[in-house]
Amino acid sequence: MAVEEFDAVVIGAGAGGGVVAKELATAGLRVVLFDRGQYFAASDFGHDELADSQEPWNRKGLRFGPGPKEVRTYRPDPDKPARIVTPRDWEFSALAACVGGGTLSYQALAWRFHPGTFRLRSLCGAIPKSTVEDYPLTYEELEPYYTKAEYELGVCGEPYGPPRSKPFPMPPQPDNKEAEVLFPAARRLGWKPFHPPLAITSEEYRGRPGCVRCPNCLSYGCEVEAKSSTAVTVIPGAIKTGLCLLRPEAFVREITVDARGQPNGVVYRNSKGAWQQTRAKLIVVAASATETPRLLLNSKSKWFPAGIGNQHDQVGRHIHEDIANAVFGFFDDVVGDALGPGPSCAVDFQFENAPVPGGGVMYNSFSRLPLRVIHTVPRPAGVKGWGHGFKDFYRRYFWRHIRLYFSVHGVPREGNRVDLDPDVRDAFGVPVSRITHRTHAWGAPQQEWLAGQVERLLREAGAKFTVKRPFVAERAGGVGQHQCGSCRMGTDPRSSVTDRTGRVHDVPNVFIADGSLMTNAGGANPSLTIQALAYWVSEHIVRDWKGGGLRG
Amino acid sequence: MNRSFDNAHTSTRRDFLHRCAICAGAVAWPPAWAKLAAAAGQHPEGHVKAAGPKAPLEFQYLTPEQAATIEAICEQIIPADEDPGAKWAGVVHYIDLGLAGDLKEYRPVYEAGLKRLAALTREIGTRSFPELDFAVQTQILEKLEKDELREGAGATGREFFELVRRHTIEGFWGDPKYGGNREMIGWKILQFEG
């Protein structure tokens, strides 16, 4: 049987890959879009905390993958032995494996990064034990792509910090009870609160209905398709061109190379378990910051003995994320309601708005679901985790607490890396990702300062007491959903994997289009930046293609 | 009649259900739940009749002795007060059905943990755990919660307790279709409408 041929293969149908597939297919390229996970329909979603969520207390494992039999290994430092971890373990380093990727079940916070984030190294100086670099592009260069992402995906909100060329395509969600409590308190402190940007419809938008405000939002699929995941926006758009084939439940093992050393396709396992080949003129990897390095490193040949893009031993290094934490305020009066999506009041404390380097943002988050509240809302000292006091605490405070999240810039720590475990293979014999990670201490004072501001806001809003999660400066553990930086863009091939357009150094037809590219995780949730970068990368691919390049 | 919930941990489930049947109409109305229903303009009695007398459920995996012990632990974790606790909510059935199905991977933890609990219980006398006074049970579980010993290669007492705690929370506040959260009592006391 002849091997199938496409113009482009895109690996990973998440935040970045979905965007690239639509852009390339719209430009006339024949595209195949792979994802190792399922393609869910709205009818697959439900409200059962024990069965329909992407939470560790789901009885059957994470609803949107990876499956419970997947493994990785983890170690906190390069000189420690690695141990096997599964998707429910924090050390696994969360990702979702399905069409839509994390955007199917995320909270949909759709921040633009602060202009300063792109120049973090220049603004904050060299940081000991960190490999942080500036982005090789500026906010101003990326701005049109942020705008495009907001309109193509569908983001609601109101203007805040970063300058913008167009208004939000939709107004913010209507207030919930928490907003009514937090906005006046923040204003009394002299702050400028705003409704956080959400990739969720607030009114009918391009054929999708407005959000119905159910509480099963974060970690659930949206039954009315109001959450602007790539699975209900750009991916159907790509398919509609007639030029994009979506291939779910197909795991790509490696990128193949022709006799001249040019990458020419991939090997994948189809949904029936057979290994197949696909040929393509160009390859875009968007499998997440912890799987993209695995694929590149598993693509070894005599031309690429250390894996594709790894000639300077850079693939998988610099993995990091923003540092997020929460403070919980407890009130005498009811301060919550049952309305989704949840986040309704934010304050921007980045750069010029903070006395600490980089700063971050704060926002209230999460709608109230019983198991999520009881498993994740901490109790004050003296209230133990069972017995009369335990029951009484959650009964009393279920509607009388506010969870204020905050995140500050994180920086990559020397020694952190995603590489291949030398011994452990998955069920199909493919070496798995080995995560070496602990957080860098640089974000500690920022976190301390912002936690103090969050506490002030909760007190001003009427909280009688607050509880902070324990905070560890150089915390051992996985890198979370905001993982990034592991195949970063840059101008120097000795400290980056791709050039500023996402093209792998010295490999003209392989591109990267996910969080791996980001040199810094920013002070807030990264998905809109991943998507803006995916538009940026796509435009460079299309320009090259139309100019006659990349055609083999 | 709400006081009966305070004593629920000292009687068997069969006794309790029997009393429910006798007092039909009054027993099953914990205050938070009643307030919620009243606010929604519902008449409480309709629900109670629907609840009706029930025969005790069979256990699918646990032996009756194991079930009695697990039920007593669950009731310690979420005890009855002015609202029903884990026992009334049928949390032991959540665990039993789980161990017979989706949660069967945890069987070894339960087996080893029940042995650790039995050992700690023997230290203070001859009565079995469910037969002990509520306050004595609490003291034993406070030991179990910190217990780092294990039976053979099994789980430690601490690991077992933490797992039962998690499963009790899930059985009390998770979806009723898994056998716990009877009549959505966990949700009703939070005034959560499902």
> A458-469, pLDDT tens digit by residue?
999 999 999 998
CB within 8 Å: A395 and B189: yes
Strand A263-269 and strand A251-257: the pairing is antiparallel
- Mean pLDDT of the A424-431 span: 96
Domain at A4-46+57-546, CATH class: alpha beta
- What is the interface pTM, i.e. ipTM, of the complex? 0.94
Asked whether the bond before A66 is cis by omega within 30 degrees of 0, the reply is yes
In sequence order, what are the beta bridge partners of A254? A267
Question: Per-residue pLDDT tens for B59-79?
Answer: 999 999 999 999 999 999 999
Share the mean pLDDT of chain B. 79
- Mean pLDDT of the A256-280 span: 96
How big is chain A, counted in residues? 552
Looking at the complex, report in whole angstroms how far the Cα of residue B108 sits from the nearest Cα belonging to chain A. Answer: 17
- Mean pLDDT of the B110-131 span: 95
- Res A365: pLDDT: 87
- Res A1: pLDDT: 59
In sequence order, what are the beta bridge partners of A10? A33, A284
Question: Would you say residue A550 has pLDDT above 50?
Answer: yes
pLDDT classification of A472: cutoffs 50, 70, 90: confident
- Res A144: pLDDT: 98
CB within 8 Å: A50 and B169: no
Name residue, tokens 């938008």.
A205
Question: Would you say residue B55 has pLDDT above 90?
Answer: no
- Mean pLDDT of the B29-38 span: 40
Question: Would you say residue A286 has pLDDT above 60?
Answer: yes
- Res A531: pLDDT: 98
Residue A1 to residues A4, A43, A276, A277, A278: CA-CA distances in angstroms?
Answer: 9, 37, 11, 11, 12
| Domain regions of chain B by residue span | 59-190
Question: Would you say residue B57 has pLDDT above 90?
Answer: no
CB within 8 Å: B138 and A390: no
Provide the 3-class DSSP secondary structure of residue A349.
strand
CB within 8 Å: B190 and A385: no
The Cβ of residue A549 has, within 10 Å, a number of other Cβ atoms equal to 14
Q: How far apart are CA A296 and CA A487, in angstroms?
A: 10
Rg (CA), chain B: 17
- Mean pLDDT of the A306-312 span: 98
Question: Would you say residue B12 has pLDDT above 80?
Answer: no
CB within 8 Å: B192 and A50: no
In this complex, which of B102, B138, B187 lies closest to A59 when CB atoms are compared?
B102
pLDDT classification of B6: cutoffs 50, 70, 90: very low
> Which residue of chain B comes nearest to A397, CA vs CA?
B190
- Res A471: pLDDT: 80
Weakest-pLDDT range from A518-527, B30-39, B67-76:
B30-39
Q: How far apart are CA A383 and CA A452, in angstroms?
A: 23
CB within 8 Å: A395 and B83: yes
CB within 8 Å: B169 and A398: no
Share the mean pLDDT of chain A. 96
pLDDT classification of B25: cutoffs 50, 70, 90: very low
- Res B1: pLDDT: 28
Question: Would you say residue B35 has pLDDT above 60?
Answer: no
Among A216, A386, A401, pick the best mutation site for testing chain B contact (most B Cβ within 10 A): A386
Q: What strand order describes the sheet that includes A323-330? A: A346-350, A359-364, A401-408, A323-330, A465-468
In this complex, which of B79, B187, B191 lies closest to A387 when CB atoms are compared?
B79
Among B35, B192, B193, pick the best mutation site for testing chain A contact (most A Cβ within 10 A): B192
Return the structure tokens found at A262.
């040019």
Which among A329, A363, A343 has a CA at the least distance from the CA of A450?
A363
* Chain B positions in Cβ-Cβ contact with residue A49 (cut-off 8 Å): 174-175
- Mean pLDDT of the B79-101 span: 97
Question: Per-residue pLDDT tens for A367-415?
Answer: 899 999 999 999 999 999 999 999 999 999 999 999 999 999 999 999 9
Weakest-pLDDT range from A147-156, B94-103, B149-158:
B149-158
> Which residue of chain B comes nearest to A337, CA vs CA?
B192
- Res B31: pLDDT: 39
Question: Per-residue pLDDT tens for B121-169?
Answer: 999 999 999 999 999 999 999 999 999 998 878 899 999 999 999 999 9
Q: How far apart are CA B155 and CA B153, in angstroms?
A: 7
Question: Would you say residue B33 has pLDDT above 90?
Answer: no
- Res A367: pLDDT: 82
Q: How far apart are CA A7 and CA A377, in angstroms?
A: 50
- Res A511: pLDDT: 98
> Which residue of chain A comes nearest to B135, CA vs CA?
A387
Tell me the pTM: 0.92
On whether the CB atoms of residues A112 and A164 are closer than 8 A, the answer is: yes
pLDDT classification of B23: cutoffs 50, 70, 90: very low
On whether the CB atoms of residues B31 and B2 are closer than 8 A, the answer is: yes
Question: Per-residue pLDDT tens for A40-74?
Answer: 999 999 999 999 999 999 998 999 999 988 999 99
Looking at the complex, report in whole angstroms how far the Cα of residue A375 sits from the nearest Cα belonging to chain B. Answer: 8
